[in-house]
Homo-oligomer: A and B are copies of this chain.
Amino acid sequence: MRQKQIGPYWVRKMNVKRPFGLAAAFLALAVAPAGAEEGMWTFDKFPSVKVKADLGWAPDQAWLDHVRLSSARIEGGCSSAIVSAEGLVQTNHHCVVGCVQNLSAPGNDLVVTGYLARGRAEERPCPGMALQVLTDITDITAEIAKATAGATGAALTKARNAAESRLQKACMKNREGRSCEVVSLYEGGRYNLYGYKRYEDIRLVFAPELGTAFFGGDPDNFNFPRYCLDVGYVRLYENGKPASTPEHFKLRAAPLAAEEPVFVSGNPGGTSRQLTTAELAFQRDYVLPWRLNMHAELRGRLLAFAALGAEEQRIASDTLFSQENSFKARIGMRLALVDPAVFGVKQAEEADLIKRIGADAKLKAEVGDAFGEIARATSAFSAFNQFYYYAEQAPGYGSELMNFARTLVRGAAERAKPDGQRLPGYTDATIGKTEADLLAATPVEKPLETLLISFWLSKTREYLTADDPFVRKLLGKESPEGLAARLVVGTKLGDRAERARLWKGGAKAIADSRDPLIVFVRNWDEDARAIRKRYEEEVDGPIVLAHQRLAKARFALYGDALSPDATFTLRLSYGRVRGWTEPSGRVVEPFTYFSGLSARATGAPPFKLAPSWEKRITSLEPGTIFDVSTTNDIIGGNSGSPLIDREGRVAGAIFDGNIHSLGGNYIYDGRLNRTVSVASTAILAALSEVYGASDLVAELKQ
């Protein structure tokens, strides 16, 4: 099991979405194509007046409190809904598949067969899984401002960190099961303290077969119409017993109606809606097309490798899924940016902001030439972004062995430095996790490792050219294929004990090592560090500072009228049940039905029904709504969020967006951006008719 690879796929998607390390405010204007339903709103600043105007209905405070307290964040990157008084939680199959895989054993692959606990005794613990319910939000903007008044530069950072730490500790003091975090919204325009009730004894109740949850596989991923039962159930336990959860959602058994208002309560992971048009153009014209070609070629290599046999298929499947998912995600992102209507909105937003800043002398002075600084840093980056990527961001392109070697080489050097001077991942606060990852029992599949390292070397040479000094240093007189094979065959880093020995041995052990992979990484790590430093100084530093000034200006000008960029904290988005019309003119209806599943099933993967469904499909009511498309503004991290109706009932579990929703990283396009959920009607029918899960259905209907 490759622990770092079995997380929910929307989480992985989140990782690919941030070109630079930016998180800032978001500017929305009432310009087409951004729709009325734009916004991932915090629960303490929900724009009820606007929503009332848009939907003809808006939730009151009691509704908001109830929904917030019935929603739960899954640590690591998902969302969920508490759906019974006894701690039953509904989320996506792809948010619990890691646990399902952990519970599997040779000859008993629960990912393939699915799992249903018959009674509490069969509910099986998911180690490492934890959920949090947001209990309270406190505005601490004033405290932070007070604590940092007059400070600048490093002193400012230090003062802010100290204040945050103090407030956080006070929030948690003497309260078991509580966790607190400081949330910075609008790039520091507002600071909130979020208090959570935390559950860490989580047990698996139900997961369907992968073939049912991910029916249609990659061809249907991010597409709609869709026929996935991407749902799973776990239960919160406290003191060895099911947790008491008086605040919980009811499931709605009645079918949804087109145009009906719906809400999504969940934790969108991150958006980049504040990027300037210079940054967007760079993404659109250079970064995305290049990375897409990388994904496409590696996908081709992996598909051919996986076709060699069952074992190769097994070895390659996670990496292949990740490449295909990232490929489609970036396809959607690029398509949004090349749409003149979308880019036009971004240009209009920027022009409006510049105009408003210009009209305010104080703001104008504070913002200075932020747009120019960002454009120049982006332009500077274009000269070395591929070098930065191949040398520092992606050596080995996911190879475990390469990651081990880099952690060992860097760890030895970093640990010798004072805490404040170390690279991220090697500070006192973070080195524990780095060490744990290094020494975990991560399986190493040598053929896949060779494939990935060889791919990385070959693309590094292709994009930097064979004349590049770094490429020459990497390859010497070897070919990418030959070098990758030599490194993987020769290294002993697949052995945990050897990794532990080198980690403990520190700088001397690394200097003395003759392991070919250590020798290889040692040879160019200084080049990688140098380009990282250049990136931080010439690109990331100037851009982050300029964006902070812009974000402050935006907040001063627009305030709460705009929702902040996503921060993987609880948000509420509103919308309607609605399909869309493709630019080609094709009309996509908002619902799919069980009848469509029968029509779509071919018997050939990924359109092959699981045996349980093959047996029961003909006896299911064909008119039952299966999956549903809505206009809610969501993004990766929202996986497992409840789709909620006006009565506060759960009408579905959101599990995907359409291809256009990927552009949501940059902008919400109300014409096309759609959220995809599995409807409660399908969930209830499947549980009772296909899986015979009568106890579960009874609990859901209580």
Interfacial residues, chain A to chain B (CB-CB below 8 A):
216, 218-220, 223, 225, 285-286, 289, 292-294, 296-305, 307, 327, 331, 334, 338, 382-384, 461-462, 465-467, 475-479, 481-482, 583-585, 600, 602-605, 607
- CB within 8 A of A602: which of B382, B475, B604, B605? B475
Q: Is the CB of B475 within 8 A of A584?
A: no
Q: Is the CB of A466 within 8 A of B292?
A: no
In the complex, A299→B223 CA distance in Å? Answer: 26
Name 8 interchain pairs, CB-CB below 8 A, sorted by A: A216-B466, A293-B296, A297-B303, A298-B300, A300-B302, A304-B305, A383-B583, A477-B602
Residues of B within 8 A of A479 (CB): 602, 604-605, 607
Residues of B within 8 A of A584 (CB): 382-384
CB closest residue in chain B, given A659: B465
- CB within 8 A of A338: which of B285, B476, B477? B285
Q: A296-B300, A304-B301, A585-B383 are in contact. Are A286 and B478 (CB under 8 A)?
A: no
Residues of B within 8 A of A467 (CB): 223, 225
Residues of B within 8 A of A294 (CB): 296
- CB within 8 A of A600: which of B216, B338, B466, B583? B466
Q: Is the CB of A289 within 8 A of B286?
A: no
Kindly provide the distance from the CB of A542 to the nearest chain B CB, expressed in whole angstroms. Answer: 19
- CB within 8 A of A466: which of B223, B300, B327, B605? B223
So how many copies of this chain end up in the complex?
Answer: 2
Residues of B within 8 A of A602 (CB): 475-479
In the complex, A334→B284 CA distance in Å? Answer: 12
In the complex, A583→B386 CA distance in Å? Answer: 13
Kindly provide the distance from the CB of A316 to the nearest chain B CB, expressed in whole angstroms. Answer: 11
Q: Is the CB of B296 within 8 A of A304?
A: no
CB closest residue in chain B, given A384: B584
In the complex, A293→B335 CA distance in Å? Answer: 14
Kindly provide the distance from the CB of A516 to the nearest chain B CB, expressed in whole angstroms. Answer: 17
CB closest residue in chain B, given A482: B604
Residues of B within 8 A of A298 (CB): 300
Residues of B within 8 A of A478 (CB): 602, 604
Q: Is the CB of A220 within 8 A of B466?
A: yes
Kindly provide the distance from the CB of A116 to the nearest chain B CB, expressed in whole angstroms. Answer: 29
Residues of B within 8 A of A461 (CB): 219
CB closest residue in chain B, given A285: B338
Kindly provide the distance from the CB of A279 to the nearest chain B CB, expressed in whole angstroms. Answer: 15
Q: What are the nearest 10 A-B pairs in CB distance?
A: A300-B300, A304-B304, A296-B296, A479-B604, A285-B338, A297-B300, A477-B602, A300-B301, A383-B584, A296-B297
CB closest residue in chain B, given A383: B584
CB closest residue in chain B, given A599: B472
Q: Is the CB of A219 within 8 A of B289?
A: no
Kindly provide the distance from the CB of A465 to the nearest chain B CB, expressed in whole angstroms. Answer: 6
Residues of B within 8 A of A286 (CB): 338
CB closest residue in chain B, given A293: B296
Given contact pairs A219-B465, A296-B297, A297-B299, a sample of 6 additional A-B residue pairs in the complex whose CB atoms are under 8 Å apart: A223-B467, A304-B304, A382-B584, A383-B583, A384-B584, A482-B604
CB closest residue in chain B, given A475: B602
In the complex, A296→B307 CA distance in Å? Answer: 18
Kindly provide the distance from the CB of A584 to the nearest chain B CB, expressed in whole angstroms. Answer: 4
Residues of B within 8 A of A462 (CB): 218-219
In the complex, A294→B297 CA distance in Å? Answer: 9
Residues of B within 8 A of A334 (CB): 289
In the complex, A15→B289 CA distance in Å? Answer: 23
CB closest residue in chain B, given A324: B462
Residues of B within 8 A of A482 (CB): 604
In the complex, A585→B294 CA distance in Å? Answer: 24
In the complex, A275→B98 CA distance in Å? Answer: 52
Residues of B within 8 A of A289 (CB): 289, 292, 334
Residues of B within 8 A of A382 (CB): 583-584
Kindly provide the distance from the CB of A610 to the nearest chain B CB, expressed in whole angstroms. Answer: 17
Kindly provide the distance from the CB of A506 to the nearest chain B CB, expressed in whole angstroms. Answer: 35
In the complex, A334→B289 CA distance in Å? Answer: 10
In the complex, A338→B382 CA distance in Å? Answer: 13
Residues of B within 8 A of A297 (CB): 296-297, 299-300, 303
Kindly provide the distance from the CB of A280 to the nearest chain B CB, expressed in whole angstroms. Answer: 13
Kindly provide the distance from the CB of A47 to the nearest chain B CB, expressed in whole angstroms. Answer: 35
Residues of B within 8 A of A300 (CB): 296-304
Residues of B within 8 A of A292 (CB): 289, 292-293, 296
Kindly provide the distance from the CB of A277 to the nearest chain B CB, expressed in whole angstroms. Answer: 12
In the complex, A316→B283 CA distance in Å? Answer: 34
CB closest residue in chain B, given A596: B467
Q: Is the CB of A465 within 8 A of B223?
A: yes
Q: Among the interface residues A304, A481, A603, which one has the most CB atoms of the partner chain B within 10 A?
A: A304
